[in-house]
Structure 1
Amino acid sequence: MIKDEASRKQVLNRLRRAQGQLAAVLTMIEDGRECRDVVTQLAAVSKAIDRAGFKIMACTLRESIAGETAPGHELLTEEELEKLFMTLS
């Protein structure tokens, strides 16, 4: 996974933020909030998750280029990297 501790913390922070935003979306729907408000908050959740995914991919690419990987993890092939990248796009 992510060997760089600073990058790992960034990913975790983004995902925790997304988790909080998603909880807010659920509350907004339960409270009957306006569609505009719900969709705006939902878009923020989506963006936070996307950014976390891109950060993970960037770290994976960097580690693959350097030929490094975390203990117990295998380097990804070019095809696997491409498939992951396309999954996020």
Structure 2
Amino acid sequence: MNEQYLPEASNKKPVKPRTVQEKEAVMNRLKRIEGQVRGIQKMVEDDRYCVDVLIQISAINKALDKVGHSLLERHTHHCVASAIKNGNGEEAIDELMKVIQQFSK
């Protein structure tokens, strides 16, 4: 199986740390997605109809996109906005554009 290239994570910290509620919301979504993936594994093991499996894969992709969009929005409102206010906007916008390009592949 080909592995997708994942760039190294930065050591940067968010400008405004996530609240407990924000963390819980993201973690709950990710746990739900994890459960959906386990459900698909079971569907494959049980030789379920291909279309049924594909529909579930589509649902997971949409759920991951929703989590990603939520994180992108927060990053833009806090980290990028702060960088612009502090005179580091070009660098932050370049980074944001790269992540949007990666996210939308």
Category of TM-score, reference length = shorter chain: 0.7 to 0.9
Does residue 1:18 correspond to 2:33, yes or no? yes
Give yes or no for contact 2:26–2:67 (8 Å, CA) kept in 1: yes
> If the length of structure 2 is used for normalisation, what is the TM-score?
0.69
Give yes or no for contact 1:7–1:59 (8 Å, CA) kept in 2: no
After TM superposition, where is structure 1 displaced by more than 3 Å over at least 4 residues in a row?
Answer: none
Larger radius of gyration: 2
Give unpaired runs (5+ residues) of structure 2. 1-13, 84-88
Task: Assess, with a 3 A threshold, how the Cα gap between structure 1 residues 65 and 78 changes in structure 2: closer, same or farther.
Answer: closer
Alignment of 1:1-89 (within 5 A): 1=14, 3-67=18-82, 77-89=92-104
Alignment length, in residue pairs? 83
Give unpaired runs (5+ residues) of structure 1. 69-74
Greater relative contact order structure (CA < 8 Å, 6+ sep): 1
Task: Assess, with a 3 A threshold, how the Cα gap between structure 1 residues 55 and 26 changes in structure 2: closer, same or farther.
Answer: same
In 1, the alpha carbon distance for the partners of 2:81 and 2:93 equals: 14
In 2, the alpha carbon distance for the partners of 1:44 and 1:28 equals: 14
How much is the aligned-residue C-alpha RMSD, in angstroms?
2.1
Q: Which has the larger helix fraction?
A: 1
In 2, the alpha carbon distance for the partners of 1:7 and 1:85 equals: 21
Cα offset, 1:19, TM superposition: 0.4
> If the length of structure 1 is used for normalisation, what is the TM-score?
0.79
SS at match of 1:19: helix
In 1, the alpha carbon distance for the partners of 2:29 and 2:73 equals: 15
